[in-house]
Amino acid sequence: MIKKRTKRGLILLLAFVAAGAVTLWFYLKPYTPEGQAETALVSGRGILVERNDNWISFEPSNASVTGVIFYPGDLVEVEAYAPLARRLAAAGHPVYIARMPLNLAVTRSDAAEDIIRVHPKLSFVLGGHSLGGVMASRFAASHPNELAGVFFLASYPDEKGSLKSTTLAALSVLGTEDKVLDREKYREGRAYLPDNTVYYSLEGGNHAQFGSYGPQKGDGEATISEDQQQAETVRALLDWMSNLR
């Protein structure tokens, strides 16, 4: 009798663990790169693309001294931001997309530290998409002297990442059709941005098209193409970076 109960208990335990694993997989299933992302990851046309365990680099042959460190949105594989990174690299800026354990930026908010250390000749701007931007602001708030500016794509700083008292430049880009971003937290986050923040409203853009990973659950329908959204985003970033000291 005891053996039967033990066996039933073991079966129930295994079933519980299996159900938990399936649930965890469902919630942590990443958005994978689509479309032009794979093409953008191939070296050529004056851009060297390299991958290691900690980041993907896009280094142009005519590199400027201002590099870009990018934190991906939560549950988005880093390769999905390759087209955006390549556009910036084509304009002369080395770009480094940080890898995050479990594709969650909250697990490695200090990812920029190693990138900065390995590239001592570059000055850097740091930013990210969605919750990647939140984590980027937290690093920037505690390392303001290591950066020239911080940018937010469909994102915002929280209290832990307040940049209000820093001299850092800041850029905020937001699509008008973004239905994923928490607008209340976004409005609250503006109180933590410096007075010199540049705000760019991307007409017709949504949340997902800053990357190349397809539609995102709960997002609005963009009225512009992914290609146009990323081109306008890069234009805003380049204009902003051109005014950095």
Per-residue pLDDT of 3-20, as tens digits, reads 555 656 555 544 443 333
Q: The domain spanning residue 201 has which CATH number?
A: 3.40.50.1820
Same domain (yes/no): 137, 19: no
Same domain (yes/no): 14, 39: no
Same domain (yes/no): 46, 105: yes
Query: Which band of pLDDT confidence, cut at 50, 70 and 90, is reported for residue 240?
Result: very high
pTM of the model: 0.89
What's the number of domains the chain is made of? 2
Predicted local confidence at residue 143, as pLDDT: 97
Q: Is the pLDDT of residue 194 over 80?
A: yes
Predicted local confidence at residue 23, as pLDDT: 33
Same domain (yes/no): 42, 16: no
Query: Which band of pLDDT confidence, cut at 50, 70 and 90, is reported for residue 245?
Result: low
Same domain (yes/no): 100, 206: yes
Task: Kindly state the greatest CA–CA separation across the chain.
Answer: 78
Same domain (yes/no): 16, 42: no
Q: Is the pLDDT of residue 153 over 90?
A: yes
Domain span holding position 12: 1-30
Q: Which amino acid is at 8?
A: R
Same domain (yes/no): 25, 138: no
* CA triple 187-140-135, angle to 5 deg: 60
Instruction: From 129, 62, 72, select the one nearest 94 (Cα to Cα).
Output: 62
Same domain (yes/no): 26, 126: no
Same domain (yes/no): 87, 158: yes
CB count within 10 Å of CB 111 equals 26
Predicted local confidence at residue 163, as pLDDT: 98
Same domain (yes/no): 108, 196: yes
Same domain (yes/no): 123, 38: yes
Give the pLDDT mean for 223-229: 98
Same domain (yes/no): 88, 4: no
Predicted local confidence at residue 64, as pLDDT: 85
